Amino acid sequence: QVQLVESGGGLAQAGGSLKLSCAASGRTFRTNAMGWFRQAPGKEREFVASISWSGGTTYYADSVKGRFTISRDNAKNTMFLQMNSLKPEDTAVYYCNTVWSDFTKPFGSWGQGTQVTVSS
């Protein structure tokens, strides 16, 4: 089972950028599709973006398309989420996880997440 640790969150102004990292332990990281999810206060956790095991295929929620970029470095067992043109509605706790073959549904244990706060 892959264990995950998210980092890189913080406070940003609207229009700013942040880059999140997801460090994974376990050799199976390199063979799993991975995704980012987020949960805003009072809302359910939602899909943000996902990437195939090779990095060759990516998917994005409509709300972040064109602003966020997902990537991975299998040699370092790490996945990233570059977030540009941030909006206050991007404020949430961000989590990474492995995803099923549909690339949007998570499986596996959740990490502690990393808080992203965007001020207007």
If pLDDT is split at 50, 70 and 90, which confidence band does 2 have? confident
Element spanning 44, H or E: none
Mean pLDDT (whole number) for 26-42: 90
Please write the tens of the pLDDT for every residue from 36-54. 999 999 999 999 999 999 9
The total of other beta-carbon atoms located within 10 Å of residue 64's CB is 22
pLDDT of amino acid 108 = 85
R_g over Cα of the chain? 13
Mean pLDDT (whole number) for 79-101: 97
pLDDT of amino acid 26 = 76
Question: Is the distance from CB of 96 to CB of 22 less than 8 angstroms?
Answer: yes
DSSP bridge pairs for 6 = 22
Is the model's pLDDT at 67 over the cut of 90? yes
Mean pLDDT (whole number) for 88-102: 96
Residue 47 CA to residue 26 CA, distance in Å, equals 23
pLDDT of amino acid 28 = 77
